[in-house]
Structure 1
Amino acid sequence: MVTLADPIPRRRRRKARSAQGADIIQKVAMALALLLVGAAIFAPLLTAYDPLQQSLLARLRPPVGFDRYSAGHFAGTDELGRDVLSRSLHGLRLTLALAFAGAVIGLVIGGLLGLVAGLRRGWAEDGIMALVDMQIAIPFTLVALLVLALMGSSLTVLVFVLGVAGWEQYARIVRGEVRRIAAQPYLEAARAAGAGPLYTAWRHVLPNLVSPLVVQFTLALSNIVILESTLSFLGLGVQPPQPSLGSMVGLGRDYMPTAPWIVLTPAALIVLLTFTVQILGDWLRDRADVRLNDR
């Protein structure tokens, strides 16, 4: 007599293996994130060279192991003899600082506008959602290029441009959550008890917004890193000699055939940074979404 294998244990084993593999990836991403943040914070202590110091006698030296004159320059030197590893770590530091500042500005702007749109109906909500639709419809990279070309490429203007890059996502999330929370019985009870709009928003609405906003903040951080790198690559972001990952890739692209290490080190840091932030953002989303945890 032939018996068919029970598919349920198989399904459970596949699900367990999938969860185990995802857990390993998340742990690797967490370790990489800690490593990158630590390298950015302690960049001056990890390198023996000034990122702005030039030495034309040591220009275009390959990484250690490829040339006997490259001692001390573990990632080689660039076209002006500057240490690539030192510039990459300091560029990582600046890129992370700009991305974090831009994400915080977007969170504040989008969160406040979304809160107003969710609590106030009528013309306020219509006007804010019209701005959100306009932001989504227009490619923001073109807007950023126009603003930086007209107003200059100072760090202040760059932080402002990065800050308004993704505020519409926060506004949509906050508005949707506020509308959902507003229909809950405990909020109706708070209003019936005499609670004002500010107290209701602070005591009952904002605590429920922490989880989705943290997830969106993490996901937006990687998008801002890519945007800043793109603008710096095109020459409208961080200006030389100050290093950033995007500007290093942009300046080194002409030397790719003869000195690819100038581009490979900052490009690898950009890829690792965006990869780890995206993985951690997906992990936070899975942990915060109760519906995914129940499956």
Structure 2
Amino acid sequence: MAKMSDTTIDSLPETSRSPLFARLRWPATVRRVWSGLDWPMRLVLVLGALLVFAALAAPLISPFEPNAQSLLSRLKPPVGFAGAKVGHIFGTDELGRDVLSRCLYGLQMTLSIALSGAIIGMLIGGTLGLLAGAAGGRADALVMALVDIQIAVPFTLVALLAVAVFGSDMQVLIVVLGIAYWEQYARIIRGEVLKLREMPFIEASRAAGASPLRIAFRHIVPNVVSPLVVMFTLNFSNIVLLESSLSFLGLGLRPPTATLGSMVGIGRDYMHTAPWIVAAPALLILLITFVVQMLGDRLRDRMDVRLRDR
């Protein structure tokens, strides 16, 4: 039986297209999108896919248990160097633990914590920014006062206070990271809402008798999703760096749980004798921030009309 081409499928009436045909069009759509990308973005997408796969499949592809110690195998160099131990591709750390396995589990933990914290910050900042811009008056003044306080107080002190009071559990770290950059979302969303309030379609909805709640969720929220998504991608890499910094300072998760930042922090004492302990997790942190920043820049170029028209 002859196969139907994409042109034949496109020529069919809307009611004649089956879900099977819709599924068959996805490969062609993916190919068109892929062919429209330049080679740097293709490289970024491949790197991002590999990082996500490595994080999700860490329990399956890790050659060793991340916390399994072997003092007889401590500080062994990576494969290819003199004295390397078979099976430990990235070498071992000061307790004989496999660096590759700990990097995979640390990548999983770092991405999950950073993603959770970034979502919390987006929800808090986006909600407060929407409230300040839509309500105005005292609500606007209160939110902007909180934003000024957030900017004025060094966040490291806030993190130290939170860890001292509540401990260094994973939930505490996620909340601390979630309140790190919420003021950036609030300021951007507030500015967008203030501009949208003066648009003709908002005035028309108000004149038609629409309630403020309906106007906010029916007309304003859909128009601030794009800047919110762009800000999320750009801030995600900042969250990753912040988590790594806090773990480097000893404010992250308690050992033996591995994050990329904690691995760099522990390995700093062995940089002269065993630099591979720091090099592997530091390279992963660099790759994460590079991929997310590139994706954020591309999304901003695509969604910002002023940049897209240039």
What is the TM-score of this pair, normalised by structure 1? 0.90
1:202 to 217, 229, 234: 217
Q: Equivalent residues in 2 for 1:23-62 (5 A)?
A: 23-62=38-77
1:27 shift after superposition: 2.2
1:98 alignment counterpart = 113
1:216 alignment counterpart = 231
Residue pair 1:95, 1:244 contacting (<8 A) in 2 also? yes
The one-letter amino acid of 1:135's match is Q
1:132 alignment counterpart = 147
1:69 shift after superposition: 4.9
1:24 shift after superposition: 2.7
1:45 shift after superposition: 1.3
1:244 alignment counterpart = 259
The one-letter amino acid of 1:66's match is F
1:138 shift after superposition: 2.3
CA distance in 2, matches of 1:145, 1:271: 25
2:298 to 283, 291, 295: 283
1:232 alignment counterpart = 247
For 1:213-245, what per-residue CA distance to the aligned partner results, in whole angstroms no more than 9, with x for missing partners? 000000110011011000101111111100000
The one-letter amino acid of 1:221's match is F
1:255 alignment counterpart = 270
Aligned to 2:38, the other structure's residue is in SS state helix
1:274 to 285, 289, 292: 289
Residue pair 1:218, 1:278 contacting (<8 A) in 2 also? yes
Moved more, 249-258 or 63-72: 63-72
1:70 shift after superposition: 1.3
The one-letter amino acid of 2:290's match is F
Aligned to 2:240, the other structure's residue is in SS state helix
CA distance in 1, matches of 2:297, 2:84: 45
- Cα RMSD of the aligned pairs, angstroms, is 1.3
Q: Identity of counterpart residues, as a percentage?
A: 62
The one-letter amino acid of 1:141's match is T
Residue pair 1:54, 1:82 contacting (<8 A) in 2 also? yes
1:195 shift after superposition: 1.2
Moved more, 164-173 or 56-65: 56-65
2:134 to 119, 123, 142: 119
- Count of aligned pairs: 274
Residue pair 2:84, 2:91 contacting (<8 A) in 1 also? no
1:163 alignment counterpart = 178
Q: Does 1:189 align with 2:210?
A: no
Residue pair 1:61, 1:67 contacting (<8 A) in 2 also? no
Aligned to 1:37, the other structure's residue is in SS state helix
Residue pair 1:222, 1:274 contacting (<8 A) in 2 also? yes
1:68 shift after superposition: 5.5
For 1:122-148, what per-residue CA distance to the aligned partner results, in whole angstroms no more than 9, with x for missing partners? 111001001111212222123212322
CA distance in 1, matches of 2:84, 2:215: 67
CA distance in 2, matches of 1:115, 1:256: 47
The one-letter amino acid of 1:294's match is D
Aligned to 1:177, the other structure's residue is in SS state helix
1:32 shift after superposition: 1.1
Q: Considering Cα pairs closer than 8 Å and 6+ residues apart, tell me whether 1 or 2 has the greater RCO.
A: 1
Aligned to 1:205, the other structure's residue is in SS state helix
1:10 alignment counterpart = none
1:173 alignment counterpart = 188
The one-letter amino acid of 2:255's match is P
CA distance in 2, matches of 1:96, 1:287: 25
The one-letter amino acid of 2:167's match is G
Specify every segment of 5 or more residues in structure 1 that has no aligned partner in the other structure, as ranges: 1-21
For 1:252-284, what per-residue CA distance to the aligned partner results, in whole angstroms no more than 9, with x for missing partners? 111111111111100100111111111111111
Runs of 4+ in 1 over 4 A off after TM superposition: none
